[in-house]
Amino acid sequence: MPKPLHSYIWRYALILIAVGLALLPVAWMATMAFKPHTEWVTSASDLHWWPHQETWGNFEYIFTGQTEAVTVSHERTAGKPILASLVTSLLGTLIAVVAGTLGAYAVSRFKVGGNLPLGVLQLRLFPPLAVMIPVMIMWAFLGAMDTWWGLSLIYGIVTLPFAFWLMKTFFDEVPREIEEAALVEGCSWFRVFWKVTLPMVKEALASTALFVFILNWSDYVIALLLTRKEWVTIPVYMNSLSSAMSGQMYGAKAALGLIAALPPVIFGIAIQKYLVRGLTFGALKQ
């Protein structure tokens, strides 16, 4: 029996409201990025969505440090922070996903490590900030402060449990028989992993990488504590887009925010078919 029409209406109405609420600030940010200085702060009576005078000035400002509309120039441009964010987030993701995947496979298949999986999970039970003071001391000792590798490393470490647990649940779902079949066909264990198991979880791998990347990309506190000048990331840099003279540079921040939103969106669209398809193996009759 088909469901009555009104149940669909309700469902879609709810979805629209939820999506609208979630996207409202994003939309506001997007239009703000194109508003000139005079429109950044408006009184309630003059609240408008669309900029009266569209301008690229905000983007110009963050990349060159100056723009005609703003008198206060900024000595640092957004180029290096964007590079820093990309490098450290991608490397951190690589570390977490590679180490997490290999570890998860070992634990899932060979039952090694005893309580290690739970221990790894416990790493996620407290906020990373709780251990940042000792990490700062260690990083300073290692000369890892304000370096691309120092920040990448801590990103990899902090998101490793996440990658490990996600991949472990996915590996647990790969039927043993499939690997055993490859084994009796003459594969070495590594070849089984590389040619059979890993390709079977590639969808899961892609979604795990996306989640880990977003975690790293949106980090503020760790970058704030472990960088000074050279490898400041986008969120930290964004905070510097204000000064006593200029006040809060809302337009510039919105422009940077818009740029910062792009990589996860692009990444997400690129692996969309994997995300949607999810994990439907169907190799076994369950």
**Site residues for another protein per CB under 8 A:** 175, 177-178, 180-188, 191, 196, 199-200, 202, 281-285
Q: How far is the C-alpha of 174 from the C-alpha of 279, rounded, in Å?
A: 10
We find the least distance from the C-beta atom of residue 9 to another protein, in angstroms, to be 35
Mapped onto helix, strand or coil, the DSSP state of residue 248 is strand
Helices first, then strands: H and E counts in the chain:
15, 2
Hey, what are 269's tokens? 């669209």
* Strand-pair category, 247-248 with 242-243: antiparallel
Nearer to another protein, 79 or 199 (CB): 199
Q: How far is the C-alpha of 91 from the C-alpha of 69, rounded, in Å?
A: 38
We find the least distance from the C-beta atom of residue 161 to another protein, in angstroms, to be 27
Nearer to another protein, 185 or 230 (CB): 185
Nearer to another protein, 54 or 172 (CB): 172
Q: How far is the C-alpha of 163 from the C-alpha of 94, rounded, in Å?
A: 10
We find the least distance from the C-beta atom of residue 178 to another protein, in angstroms, to be 5
We find the least distance from the C-beta atom of residue 203 to another protein, in angstroms, to be 10
Nearer to another protein, 93 or 208 (CB): 208
Nearer to another protein, 84 or 167 (CB): 167
Nearer to another protein, 131 or 178 (CB): 178
We find the least distance from the C-beta atom of residue 282 to another protein, in angstroms, to be 6
We find the least distance from the C-beta atom of residue 97 to another protein, in angstroms, to be 19
Helix (H) or strand (E) holding 242: strand 242-243
Sign of CA dihedral 188, 189, 190, 196: positive
Each as own residue / partner, the long-range contacts of residues 269-278 (CB below 8 Å, 24 or more positions apart, any chain) are 271/206, 271/207, 271/209, 271/210, 274/202, 274/203, 274/206, 274/207, 275/203, 275/206, 275/207, 275/210, 277/203, 278/203
Picking from 261, 264, 237, the residue whose alpha carbon sits closest to that of residue 61 is: 237
> Phi, psi (5° rounding) for residue 197?
-65, -50
Q: CA 232, 85, 75: angle at the middle one, nearest 5? A: 40
We find the least distance from the C-beta atom of residue 111 to another protein, in angstroms, to be 13
Nearer to another protein, 4 or 282 (CB): 282
We find the least distance from the C-beta atom of residue 270 to another protein, in angstroms, to be 19
